[in-house]
Amino acid sequence: APGAARPGTKRLPRAIVVGVKKGGTRAVLEFIRVHPDVRALGTEPHFFDRNYHRGLEWYRSLMPRTLDSQITVEKTPSYFVTKEAPRRIFNMSRDTKLIVVVRNPVTRAISDYTQTLSKKPDIPTFEGLTFRNRSLGLVDTSWNAIRIGMYAVHLESWLQYFPLSQIHFVSGEKLITDPAGEMGKVQDFLGIKRVITDKHFYFNKTKGFPCLKKSESSGLPRCLGKSKGRTHVQIDPEVIEQLRDFYRPYNIKFYETVGQDFRWE
């Protein structure tokens, strides 16, 4: 009836996309919300890092209304690198399902830098920020763009509170080459029917990644915003090589911990 309250209840999320920045988290959120059994918060609430003092009821008030059969999902990629986030999420619900979208840490760092550069054109060069001492190959791990890609280090904090069975890792690379396959695994992990399949995607050659054929509301094709698919800054191949060497031990430890080889070598 006109003016009637929308059905459903605002519930705390049962699944959270906790990371990582510039990995493909927005794509995962946009793809999964096509599913009739999923309702997702469109904006990043930053509750478990910046807004925790506002309390759980404030957090719940932001959520979309869901029916009993639906799952509430939110995404804030900075949670993955926030020390307090695992404990805080665990305190909300130890059954929370966590989704981490990862991609080659070297590419991720360049993408991160490219995004920052578009907002602050006067920042130092990528090389200048990457190294404490380039001739010695000393990488500056205090720079966020570098630190985020040390996945194995951040994962340790999560594994103190959550078993690996409650964390699902999405390959940012495969999300581009095989979105239906990656989203099939996400649907399995969430315990929902595989509704999102090949027929939902088409490859946008201009942007260089897959887009949804139609969105839930408009029935028109839907691609991620202008900020996605930016042309990356050109980086000296030698710098890329040094970064590959830097990340290699972290990558190997990450593969071993999660039991999955992402083939970033």
Annotated binding site for 3'-phosphoadenylyl sulfate: 22-26, 103, 111, 228-232
Query: Among this protein's residues, is 193 annotated catalytic?
Result: no
CB 254 within 8 A of CB 152: yes
Residue 75 dihedral angles phi and psi, to the nearest 5°:
-135, 135
Catalytic residue among 10, 21, 22, 214: 22
User: In angstroms, rounded to a whole number, what is the distance separating the alpha carbons of residues 71 and 73?
Assistant: 6
Peptide bond into 73 cis (omega under 30): no
Query: Which of the 8 DSSP states describes residue 194?
Result: -
**For residue 180, how many C-alpha atoms fall within 13 Å in the half-sphere facing its CB?**
12
Closest CA relative to residue 25, chosen from 77, 97, 82, 86: 77
Cα-flanking dihedrals φ and ψ of residue 174, to 5°? -70, -25
- Cα angle vertex 243, ends 240, 246, to 5°? 155
Q: Where are the alpha helices (DSSP H) in the chain?
A: 25-32, 56-62, 85-92, 105-119, 126-130, 144-147, 151-159, 172-177, 179-190, 237-258
CB-hemisphere CA count at 13 Å for 64? 18
- Residues forming the active site: 22
